[in-house]
Amino acid sequence: MSGSKSAAEIVVAGRVQGVGYRNYAQRRASNLGLAGFVMNLKDGRVRARVEGPRPVIEKFIEELGKGPPLSRVENLTVRWLPASGRFAAFGIRYAEFEQ
């Protein structure tokens, strides 16, 4: 694995469930060539775990801050992590569980 890989856990709050937010995140991440997943949390927030080059992740975070047309992002928190290399692609998870 190259040393340029980074990872982030992003939690987005606001009107982000039932508005196509996960599909939006999945499309953006795939277009940027990032790996990881996005999922809804029981409390109404959305959580994304993403791996790739840090500048690309920063672009993804910017896109998540915008969100799809029906969404309203009120708060976005980012926690930078070491890359695990576990993800081959970016997907949507449909159940909340710890990794």
Nearest CA to 58 out of 80, 36, 74, 73 is that of 80
Residue 69, C-beta contacts closer than 8 angstroms, at least 6 positions apart: none
- For the question of residue 22 being annotated catalytic, the response is yes
Nearest CA to 5 out of 47, 52, 44, 38 is that of 52
Residue from 28, 31, 40, 72 carrying the catalytic annotation = 40
Angle (CA) 52-56-61 rounded to 5° is 105
Domain regions of the chain by residue span: 5-92
The Cα 80–Cα 9 span in angstroms is 6
pLDDT tier at 47, thresholds 50, 70, 90: very high
Topology of the domain comprising 5-92: Alpha-Beta Plaits (3.30.70)
pLDDT tier at 96, thresholds 50, 70, 90: low
- For the question of residue 75 being annotated catalytic, the response is no
Q: 0.85 cut: is pTM over it?
A: yes
The Cα 55–Cα 61 span in angstroms is 10
Is 9's pLDDT higher than 80?
yes
Residue 97 is predicted with a pLDDT of 55
Is 7's pLDDT higher than 50?
yes
